């Protein structure tokens, strides 16, 4: 087989795999629907407000419920030191307050 | 048409042979290029799927959460507070929530203790999240003892373990009865952690929040809309140590690709000179180099993207776990539902494939329009 044909065949397979990602995504989404509904139901029943993604500190466990000072809780000059603080920003409503707006 | 196709095949043959002459260098470049696309695509796919998941799941969270602030800190809701809120027009339903954090010295992990509104466990029984079950090796009907902040030991029986499918929202939860919760945390009677409100007319949520803030100046209403927006920006591109590190990698790759593409080596210049001397036209040289750029960049993009998809949606983004875990002991095991944003994929394609193809073509065009003799003499 000519090297050009090999390269074009490889590219065709790669393009097919790329397209299959979208098909696979649709199949996985359909399969995940019951679990998703169960998660939503649990959020309603338990009145949850946050994802349990970062459990290392209270303001990262429930970022939407954190207050302005929780990231600097240890002493007045303490810098925020949990690694998650580098990944997620403060809640949007606290950012608004920081810009001089008032709470709703 | 057939002639044109045959010509392209010969050009690709020549391009591949030319690439093979500098095998190590070109393979190294392809590997770095693919890895870069893989990392960028992994971050993009993961954060987009997580945002979508958060938006769908948290759409069921309470419409408004009312916290009470004392000296800038979240404080308990005292008795009488709910009655004042009940007088505000538009408030349909309100429930006091009881929840708090507990640091377990055995596993050195933080748990979220909570009293559910429905399916409340019997006294001295608890329902635990799947990550807690794993970290403490618990199972249904096992006993477990926690030392409360007052120093007293409290023993519970595991009545149930929450389903693994719910781990993204319930990994660290410990559900217990109100009586147990108040006894464990020495919570005063009639006090709550915060209040969950629902508003009769969804259009009026912001107005109700404004009325609430006016009636109770120490209250802080947190709207569901704000919670959703917080999660929509949870991995904002400006934040994130991963992306900061990646931007350095992108710059390094940019320099590498630019150096490779823009600065033609003496060998490459001689090659172009010889091709032109034996009768190749400028257009042929450019087409040959176009194929080179396209083969390298398209291969890197396709392989990198497919590998990223498999990594994120079939291996639960295992490479990101150490970064996302931070210092946390409990980390939820979850499989994100794949949501691919076409615009993001197109952006990734544009910013990875097009610049490389362009960077390859420009210097070749300059060399190809020069006299062969001059090019060969360097």
In the predicted model, is pLDDT for residue A100 greater than 50? no
pLDDT above 50 (res A102): no
The domain ranges of chain B are: 2-58+235-377, 63-232
Nearest chain A alpha carbon to B176: A46
Q: Given 2.40.40.20, 3.40.630.10, 3.30.230.10, 2.40.10.120, which CATH number is that of B63-232?
A: 2.40.40.20
- The fraction of chain B above a pLDDT of 90, given in percent, is 37
What does A20-89 look like in DSSP terms, one character per residue?
A: HHHHHHHHHHHHHHHHHHHHHHHHHHHT--S-SS--SSHHHHSGGG--TTGGG-SSTTPPP--GGGGTSP
pLDDT bracket for residue A103 (50, 70, 90): very low
Please say if the pLDDT value at position B65 is more than 80.
yes
Residues of A in contact with B329 (CB under 8 A): 55-56
Q: What is the mean pLDDT of residues B320-327?
A: 78
- Give the number of other CB atoms < 10 A from CB of residue B281: 11
- ipTM of the assembly? 0.84
Contact (CB<8Å) B73/A67: yes
State pLDDT tens for residues B13-46.
988 898 888 888 889 889 988 998 998 899 889 9
| Residues B324, A11: C-beta atoms closer than 8 Å | no
- For residue B191, what pLDDT is reported? 95
Whether the Cβ atoms of residue A95 and residue A89 lie closer than 8 Å to each other: yes
Residue of B nearest to A60 (CA): B328
Is the distance from CB of B116 to CB of A46 less than 8 angstroms? yes
Q: Does A2 touch chain B (CB under 8 A)?
A: yes
Domain ranges of chain A: 1-48, 58-98
Looking at chain A, the whole-number percentage of residues with pLDDT higher than 70 is: 85
Contacts of B241 in chain A (CB under 8 A): 83, 86-87
> Which of B334, B71, B315 minimizes the C-alpha distance to A51?
B334
Q: Which residues pair with B84 in a beta bridge?
A: none
Specify the length of chain B in residues.
378
Contact at CB, A55 and B331, closer than 8 angstroms = yes
B298 touches A at CB < 8 Å: yes
pLDDT band at B261 (very low <50, low <70, confident <90, very high): low
CA distance A53 to B16: 47
Work out the average pLDDT over B327-336: 85
pLDDT at B312: 94
Contacts of A59 in chain B (CB under 8 A): none
What is the rounded CA–CA span in Å between residue B234 and residue A50?
Answer: 11
Nearest to B234 among A2, A4, A88 (CB): A88
Q: Looking at the complex, does the CB of residue A81 fall below 8 Å from at least one CB of chain B? A: no
Q: Which of A8, A45, A55 sits opposite B116 (nearest CB)?
A: A45
Does the pLDDT value for residue B181 go beyond 90?
Answer: yes
Residues of chain A neighbouring B210 (CB-CB closer than 8 A):
104
Q: CB-based contacts of A13: which residues, under 8 Å, 6+ apart?
A: none
Contact B166 A39 (CB under 8 A): yes
Alpha-carbon distance A21 to B121, whole Å? 43
Q: Residues with Cβ < 8 Å from B169, sequence gap 6 or more?
A: A39, A42, A43, A48, A50, A51, A52, B57
CB contact under 8 A, A61 and B101: yes
pLDDT above 60 for A99: no
Would you give the end-to-end CA distance of chain B in angstroms? 37
Contact A68 B72 (CB under 8 A): yes
Cβ–Cβ under 8 Å, residues B165 and A39: yes
Q: In this predicted model, what pLDDT tens digit does every residue of A23-76 receive, in sequence order?
A: 999 999 999 999 999 999 999 999 999 999 888 888 888 988 887 777 776 676
- The better pLDDT of the pair B28, B361 is held by B28
């Amino acid at each position: 087989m000519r090297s050009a044909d090999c390269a074009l065949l490889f590219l065709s397979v790669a393009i097919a795999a790329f397209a299959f990602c979208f098909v696979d995504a649709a199949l996985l989404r359909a399969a995940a629907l019951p679990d998703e509904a169960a998660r939503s139901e649990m959020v309603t029943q338990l009145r949850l407000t946050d994802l349990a993604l970062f459990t290392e500190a209270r303001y990262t466990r429930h970022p939407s419920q954190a207050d302005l000072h929780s990231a600097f809780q240890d002493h007045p000059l303490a810098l925020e030191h949990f690694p998650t603080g580098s990944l997620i920003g403060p809640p949007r409503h606290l950012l608004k307050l920081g810009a001089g707006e008032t709470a709703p | 048409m057939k002639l044109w196709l045959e010509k392209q095949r010969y050009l690709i043959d020549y391009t591949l042979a030319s690439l093979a002459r500098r095998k190590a260098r070109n393979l190294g470049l392809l590997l770095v290029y693919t890895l870069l696309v893989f990392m960028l695509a992994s971050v993009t796919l993961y954060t987009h799927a997580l945002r979508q998941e958060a938006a769908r799941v948290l759409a069921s969270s309470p419409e408004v959460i009312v916290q009470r602030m004392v000296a800038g800190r979240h404080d308990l809701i005292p008795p009488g507070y709910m009655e004042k809120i009940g007088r505000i027009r538009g408030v349909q339903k309100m429930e006091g929530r009881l929840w708090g954090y507990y640091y377990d010295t055995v596993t050195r992990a933080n748990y979220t203790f909570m009293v559910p509104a429905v399916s409340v466990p019997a006294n001295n029984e608890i329902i635990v999240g799947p990550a807690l079950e794993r970290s403490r090796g618990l199972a249904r009907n096992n006993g477990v003892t926690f030392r409360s902040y007052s120093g007293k030991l409290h023993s519970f029986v595991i009545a149930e373990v929450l389903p693994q499918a719910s781990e993204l929202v319930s990994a660290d939860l410990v559900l217990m009865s109100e009586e147990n919760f108040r006894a464990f945390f020495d919570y005063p009677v009639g006090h709550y952690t915060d209040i969950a409100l629902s508003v009769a007319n969804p259009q009026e949520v912001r107005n109700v929040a404004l009325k609430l803030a006016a009636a109770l100046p120490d209250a802080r209403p947190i709207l569901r809309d704000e919670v959703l927006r917080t999660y929509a920006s949870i991995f904002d591109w400006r934040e994130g140590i991963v992306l900061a590190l990646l931007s350095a990698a992108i710059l390094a790759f940019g320099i590498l690709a630019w150096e490779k593409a823009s600065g033609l080596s003496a060998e490459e210049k001689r090659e172009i000179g010889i091709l032109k001397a034996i009768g190749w036209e400028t257009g042929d040289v450019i087409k040959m180099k176009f194929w080179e750029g396209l083969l390298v960049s398209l291969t890197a993009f396709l392989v990198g993207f497919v590998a990223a998809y498999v990594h994120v949606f079939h291996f639960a983004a295992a490479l990101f776990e150490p970064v996302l875990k931070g210092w946390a002991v409990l980390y939820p095991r979850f499989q994100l539902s794949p949501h691919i944003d076409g615009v993001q994929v197109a952006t990734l394609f544009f910013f990875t494939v097009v610049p490389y193809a362009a960077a390859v073509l420009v210097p070749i065009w300059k060399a190809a329009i020069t006299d062969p003799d001059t090019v060969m003499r360097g």
